């Protein structure tokens, strides 16, 4: 098995293990520092620190364990590794903000621990190792699934692949190890193993896996920080709708797509009598009303639509259309927004405040990079809706493309 040992001859296995231990120690320190200095993912960082400390404490690097009784000598690294992967998986879930409860981790970890205990109690070191390796394989595969679920779709496939690679490698290594054990002759009656050193290539591989898992988790953390910055720069902090700059950006993009035949409609929205709510119930009620409206509209909009806050109580929805001049669909979507808001009053301090809004829908024109013509038309329809008595949708009757 493995590469020709003579090729790895220049490596000193105890030194590799010591380097690995140093790395675990420094990684634990780094995670503790991260948890203290940034409050981005403190619990995940502490779990990672614990995982590294556990690995550091249960890996024999200087032959100290050689003098320990056989049972302890074998149990320590087996339980240590299993516990380390369990902590790692818990940290990963926290880092990715998974809502899944840790039942599956507890089951796999518990069964693995049970297998190790049973193997050791039965005097078979190989059986214990086999149970440990199997559990680690399953946990590593769970980690792969976790990363794919957590970041999949939000990051490019290459980046996602790179982030799952360390966990896949860990699964592969444990699986290979388990297969090796199964193939070893006469493992049924195998006694507890001595404290022999792993081969050089295995020691190196372990070091690589440890280091790359740490890097993968740090990458996930940086990704979370960047995502937060993007959210903050693109969203209106009060309502979570796109801010004016981000909406203008989306409109620019949509206008560019319009040249290629991808149509869209603009729905200008203004909450009716918003000033009255502010004056009668205070600014906090006004803020709550804005949040209430955006919450309802976001739920009624499709994933492709974008809703932006242009200022004050004025919003605009950008509605991509399947066919360029499909005003009917745009009108239907907008009518849904109007009806949804009218049906759900805002609950403010035990009081139901009815809220309505007026809507103006219009199509954009080509050759207008900033989309101003469409906005002005939608704004005109909005004024018409206000003038006709509010709480209604007015749709422009201009033909698309006519200036």
Partner 1 sequence: MITPAQTLTLLAAIIMVAAVAALVWLSLALVARIAPRASLTMAGANLATALALTLHALRGVLPDALTYRPSDVLAVASFALLSVAVPAIVTRRLPWQPAAIAVAATALVLLALPYDGDLRWPARVVNGMGAALTAAAGLTVWRQLGAAEGRRTPARLALPLFLIAALMAVRGLETFVHPGGTPDMRVPTMFNIAFLWSALVLTLLQNATLAFLVLMRLIRRIERLLERDPLTDTLNRRAFDQALDHAHAWLKRGRGYALVMIDMDRFKQLNDSLGHAAGDAALRLMVLELQPCLRAVDRFGRLGGEEFCVLLPDTDIAGAALVAERMRSLVAAAPLRWLEQDWPLSASFGIAEGERGDASADAVLARADAAMYRAKNQGRNVVQA
| Residue ranges in contact with partner 1 by CB under 8 A | 9-12, 15-16, 19, 22-23, 26, 30, 33-34, 37-38, 40, 159, 208, 211-212, 215, 218-219, 222-223, 225-226, 228-229, 232-233, 237, 243, 245
* Least distance in angstroms from the C-beta of 93 to partner 1: 22
Nearer to partner 1 (CB atom), residue 25 or residue 111: 25
Residues 202, 27: Cα–Cα separation, whole Å: 21
* Least distance in angstroms from the C-beta of 299 to partner 1: 26
Q: Which positions are catalytic?
A: 313
Interacting residues of 254 by C-beta distance below 8 A, sequence separation 6+: 262, 264, 318, 320, 364, 371
Residues 104, 130: Cα–Cα separation, whole Å: 20
Nearer to partner 1 (CB atom), residue 182 or residue 232: 232
Nearer to partner 1 (CB atom), residue 179 or residue 229: 229
Nearer to partner 1 (CB atom), residue 45 or residue 391: 45
* Least distance in angstroms from the C-beta of 149 to partner 1: 21
Cα Rg for the chain, rounded, in angstroms? 30
Residues 340, 336: Cα–Cα separation, whole Å: 6
Counted residue by residue, the chain has a size of 403
* Least distance in angstroms from the C-beta of 230 to partner 1: 10
* Least distance in angstroms from the C-beta of 261 to partner 1: 31
Nearer to partner 1 (CB atom), residue 219 or residue 353: 219
Nearer to partner 1 (CB atom), residue 153 or residue 401: 153
Say if residues 137 and 178 touch (Cβ distance below 8 Å).
yes
* Least distance in angstroms from the C-beta of 244 to partner 1: 9
* Least distance in angstroms from the C-beta of 10 to partner 1: 5
Residues 48, 208: Cα–Cα separation, whole Å: 17
Residue linked to tokens 């801010």: 243
Beta bridge partners of 346: 353
* Least distance in angstroms from the C-beta of 89 to partner 1: 23
Nearer to partner 1 (CB atom), residue 237 or residue 350: 237
Nearer to partner 1 (CB atom), residue 10 or residue 185: 10
């Amino acid at each position: 098995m493995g590469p020709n040992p003579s090729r790895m001859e220049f490596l000193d296995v105890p030194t590799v293990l010591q380097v690995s231990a140093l790395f675990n120690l420094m990684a634990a320190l780094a995670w503790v520092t991260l948890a203290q200095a940034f409050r981005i993912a403190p619990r995940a960082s502490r779990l990672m620190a614990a995982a590294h400390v556990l690995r550091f404490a249960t890996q024999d690097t200087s032959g100290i364990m050689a003098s320990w009784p056989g049972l302890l000598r074998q149990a320590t690294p087996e339980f240590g590794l299993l516990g380390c992967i369990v902590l790692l998986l818990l940290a990963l879930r926290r880092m990715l903000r998974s809502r899944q409860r840790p039942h599956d981790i507890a089951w796999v970890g518990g069964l693995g621990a049970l297998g190790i205990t049973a193997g050791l109690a039965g005097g078979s070191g190989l059986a214990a190792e086999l149970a440990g390796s199997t559990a680690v394989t399953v946990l590593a595969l769970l980690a792969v699934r976790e990363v794919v679920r957590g970041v999949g779709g939000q990051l490019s496939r290459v980046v996602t692949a790179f982030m799952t690679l360390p966990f896949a490698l860990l699964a592969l290594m444990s699986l290979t190890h388990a297969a090796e054990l199964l193939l070893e002759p006469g493992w049924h009656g195998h006694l507890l193993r001595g404290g022999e050193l792993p081969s050089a290539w295995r020691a190196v591989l372990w070091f690589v896996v440890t280091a790359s898992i740490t890097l993968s988790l740090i990458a996930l953390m940086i990704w979370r920080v960047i995502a937060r910055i993007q959210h903050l720069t693109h969203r209106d902090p009060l309502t979570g709708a796109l801010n004016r700059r981000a909406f203008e950006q989306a409109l620019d993009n949509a206008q560019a797509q319009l040249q290629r035949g991808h149509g869209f409609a603009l729905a200008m929205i203004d909450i009716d009598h918003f000033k009255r709510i502010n004056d009668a119930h205070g600014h906090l009620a006004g803020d709550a009303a804005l949040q209430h409206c955006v919450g309802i509209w976001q739920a009624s909009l499709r994933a492709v639509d974008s809703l932006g806050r242009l200022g004050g109580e004025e919003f605009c929805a950008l509605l991509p259309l399947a066919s360029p001049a499909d005003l009917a669909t745009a009108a239907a979507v907008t009518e849904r927004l109007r009806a949804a808001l009218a049906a759900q009053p805002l609950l403010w301090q035990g009081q139901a405040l009815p809220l309505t809004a007026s809507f103006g829908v219009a199509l954009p024109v080509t050759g207008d990079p900033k989309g101003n013509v469409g906005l002005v038309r939608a704004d005109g329809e909005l004024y018409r809706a206000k003038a006709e008595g509010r709480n209604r949708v007015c749709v422009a009757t201009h033909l698309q493309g006519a200036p």
